[in-house]
């Protein structure tokens, strides 16, 4: 009788947190590629963003890695492993790796067009300077707003290092900024948690949302958006396609195919409106 030889599964490590909706979308995309095309053995350790315990990686005999490389420690561990890797972070700590990320220019374009179509003529951006994707969204959003003939004011959350404010101090500082803005104003927040914080800061000083301040977030984390009061409108990104593309590219790397493009940007899906300010275009303040 002819002996049946089973093909050895490729061992793939996923250095992706499970603590937020976007990252779980990445994992679903990777899962769907793996189920349809390959039979991988997946190694996933639960951890928060940018804080995986990588002691095991030095002695792990795997075939490839898909990672969110959020700091120098993760970058060093991956480089030392010598394994084929696809990066899903905007941090760009290892610039020569293949990189798959959200198209932040289109995210900002959708947000700007949505707020302008709501009849608003005052605009602002609230972001986190620690993250490249937030800085890129701010740059693109401001340019789109300027191109439409309007000004855009900005607010930066305190840094994530030793100077980071506690939430109550941050909320009070944000509230003072919100008071200073001409109204009604449309604010793009860099992601949904930031949008929820903006709404809370408005409530802190009795600013009406959405009549005085209309807020739009990014990622469409449905739970976070619905927990906001009023519910938060958001740009729906496509982490599923991002994860799927990363898995496809890693598969090609493992098979030693030549990949000439190292940067892949995945377009957002669209705007999910929940409760928006709707003004007539001619009712400008």
- CATH 3.40.50.2300 given to domain 104-236: yes
Q: Find the mean pLDDT for residues 8-23.
A: 91
d(CA 168, CA 278): 31
What was the pLDDT predicted at 285? 42
Task: Give, in order, the Cα–Cα distances in Å from 28 to each of 84, 154, 179, 204, 242.
Answer: 21, 34, 41, 37, 10
Q: Measured between alpha carbons, how far is 48 from 40 in angstroms, rounded to an integer?
A: 24
- pLDDT tens figures, 128-161: 999 999 999 999 999 999 999 999 999 999 865 4
* Contact call for residues 199 and 232 (beta carbons, < 8 A): yes
Instruction: For 67-98, write each residue's pLDDT tens digit.
Output: 999 999 999 999 999 999 999 999 999 999 99
Residue ranges matching CATH 3.40.50.2300 in the chain: 10-102+238-268, 104-236
The CATH code that applies to domain 10-102+238-268 is 3.40.50.2300
Which H helix or E strand runs over 172?
helix 167-180
Q: What pTM value is reported for the model?
A: 0.90
- To the nearest whole number, what is the mean pLDDT of the chain? 90
Give kind and range of the element (H or E) at residue 65: strand 64-67
In which element (H, E) is residue 50 found? none
Task: Please list, in sequence order, all residues whose beta carbon lies within 8 angstroms of the beta carbon of residue 117, skipping any fewer than 6 positions away.
Answer: none
What pLDDT, on a 0 to 100 scale, did the predictor assign at position 162? 44
């Amino acid at each position: 009788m002819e002996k049946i030889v089973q093909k050895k599964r490729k061992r793939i490590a996923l250095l992706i947190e499970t603590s937020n909706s976007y990252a779980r979308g990445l994992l679903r995309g990777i899962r769907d590629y793996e189920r349809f095309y390959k039979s991988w053995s997946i190694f996933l350790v639960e951890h928060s963003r940018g804080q995986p315990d990588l002691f095991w990686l030095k002695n792990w005999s795997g075939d490839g890695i898909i990672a969110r490389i959020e700091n120098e420690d993760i970058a060093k561990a991956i480089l030392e492993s010598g394994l084929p890797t696809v990066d899903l972070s905007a941090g760009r700590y290892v610039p020569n790796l293949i990189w798959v990320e959200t198209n932040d220019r289109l995210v900002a374009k959708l947000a700007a067009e949505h707020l302008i179509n709501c009849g608003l003529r005052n605009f602002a951006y609230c972001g986190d300077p620690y993250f490249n994707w937030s800085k890129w969204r701010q740059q693109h959003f401001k340019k789109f707003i300027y191109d439409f003939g309007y000004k855009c004011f900005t607010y930066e959350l305190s840094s994530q290092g030793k100077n980071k404010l506690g939430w109550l101090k941050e909320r009070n500082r944000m509230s003072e900024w919100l008071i200073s803005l001409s109204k009604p104003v449309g604010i793009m927040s860099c992601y949904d948690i930031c949008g929820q914080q903006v709404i809370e800061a408005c409530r802190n000083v009795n600013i009406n949302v959405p009549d005085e301040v209309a807020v739009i977030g990014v990622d469409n984390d449905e739970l976070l958006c619905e927990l906001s009061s009023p519910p938060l409108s958001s740009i729906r990104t496509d982490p599923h396609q991002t994860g799927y593309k990363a898995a496809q590219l890693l598969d090609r790397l493992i098979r030693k195919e030549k990949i000439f493009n190292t940067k892949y940007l995945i377009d957002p899906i669209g705007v999910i409106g929940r409760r928006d300010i709707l003004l007539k275009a001619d009712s400008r303040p």
